[in-house]
Amino acid sequence: MSANFRVALKKVVDYSYDIEIGETLFNSLIEDLKRGIVENVSKFAVITDSKVEALYGQALLEQMIQNGFHAELFSFPAGEKSKTRETKAQLEDQLLSRSYGRDCCIIAVGGGAVTDLGGFLAGTFGRGVPSLNYATTLLAAADASIGGKTGVNTPVATNLIGVFHQPKKVYIDLAAWRTLPVRELRSGLAETIKHACIADAGFFEFLERNMDKVVSSEGELVLDREVCEQIALHNCEIKYSVVEKDELENNLRQILNLGHTAGRALEALSGYELLHGEAIAIGLAIQVRLAEQMGFVSSDEKLRVIALLQKAGLPTEIPATITDRMLIDKMYTDKKCVMGLYGLCSKRE
C-alpha cells in the first residue's frame, strides 16, 4: 500500500520593476529606499569590485550611512576571472560573519560581472533576498543588469551555474560611462549591436549613423548625451520585449544569445584576455558569415554587420592562438548547446 498527497502551490507573482536611465542616480536610489522600494529590510550590502569601489561603491556607502541606513561594502577583485563560485562563497562568508540574514538587501554596483555575481548572491542568500542593480558600464546597461539572469563561471563553461533572480529596480548611470576605458565601452557596444541585429533594423541604422558620436575612429570617448540615452533606452526595450515573453529562457529568450555560443567559448579559451563584448563581437561575425552561407542573410547584410562591429572598434576574427578544433570542443560545453552545434564554426576568411 502507498499513500499520495498532492502539494498544491499555484500562485501568481509580479516581478515587475523599473529601469531608471540618467546621470548620477545615487539620490534617486536613496529616495527609493526611503519610500520603501524594498520591504522588511534592516541591512544593506553594497557589492562591488576593486575598480568600482573607489569610483562609486564607497561614495554610495557613505551617502547611505549619512541617510540613516545600516550599510556595509563588500568588494572582490575586478574582472571576469573573479566571477566564480569561490568568490560568491567568500562574499557569503563575509555576510554571515557580519550577521546578515534574510532581512538584508543586496545592492550590486558595477559592471556585468558585479551584477551577475551580486544577483546570484541575492538569489540564494537566505533562500532569496531583494536586490537592486546600479549599472556603471554600457555592458551592464545593455545586458547583465536586466532580465534576471545571474550566474558564475567555472573552468568548464561560463555562466553554467546560476539562478533567475529579478532585481527590484535597475539604475543606469550614463555619467559613469565617462569613467570607462574605451575598450570597456566598446565591449558594451557589442551587446548593443547584437540587440539591433535580432530585433530592430531602425536601431541598427541609428548605430550606423551615430557610432562616431559614441566613440571616435581614433579611439576616443565622445559619448553624446542624446545618443547614449537612445542606446540605453533601446537596449532596455529590446531585451524587455523578449524577456516579457520568456522570462526563464525556455524558448524565445534564447535569441538574446546570438553570438554567445562561439563568443563565450572564445572568452574562456582566451583566459578572459578577450573582454566579454570582444568575444561576442567575434561570435556575431562568425554567425553572420554562417548565415550568409546558409542563405539567411545577404552578402550586403553580412558586410554591414561586420562593418558596424569594426566601426565600434571591435574584433571580428578568431585569434590566431585559438584553433577551430579548440573552439568547437569548447562550444559543446555551452549551456545553450542541446542538439549539437550544426557547424557553428565557419572556415576562416
User: Domains of the chain: which residue ranges?
Assistant: 18-179, 182-331
pLDDT band at 33 (very low <50, low <70, confident <90, very high): very high
- Which pLDDT score, from 0 to 100, does residue 2 have? 84
The CA–CA distances, whole Å, from 201 to 196, 198, 295, 300 equal 6, 8, 19, 14
Q: Does domain 18-179 have CATH number 3.40.50.1970?
A: yes
With H, G, I as helix, E, B as strand and everything else as coil, classify residue 264: helix
Characterize 65-77 residue by residue with b for buried, 16 or more Cβ atoms within 10 angstroms of its Cβ, and e for exposed: eeeebebbbbbbe
Mean pLDDT of 322-332: 90
pLDDT digits (tens, 9 = 90+) for 146-193: 778 899 998 887 888 999 999 999 999 999 999 999 999 999 999 999
Query: Please, which residues have CB within 8 angstroms of residue 88's CB and are 6 or more apart in sequence?
Result: 117, 120, 121, 152
pLDDT digits (tens, 9 = 90+) for 113-154: 999 999 999 999 999 999 999 999 998 888 766 778 899 998
Is residue 29 predicted with pLDDT exceeding 60?
yes
Alpha carbon of residue 209 to chain centroid: 25
pLDDT band at 250 (very low <50, low <70, confident <90, very high): low
| CATH fourth-level superfamily of 182-331 | Dehydroquinate synthase-like - alpha domain (1.20.1090.10)
**Global pTM value:** 0.87
Per DSSP, what are the bridge partners of residue 19?
170
Cβ-count burial of 213 within 10 angstroms (0-12 exposed, 13-18 middle, 19+ buried)? middle
Neighbours of 333 (CB within 10 A): 16
Q: Which three cell numbers stand for residue 37?
A: 522600494
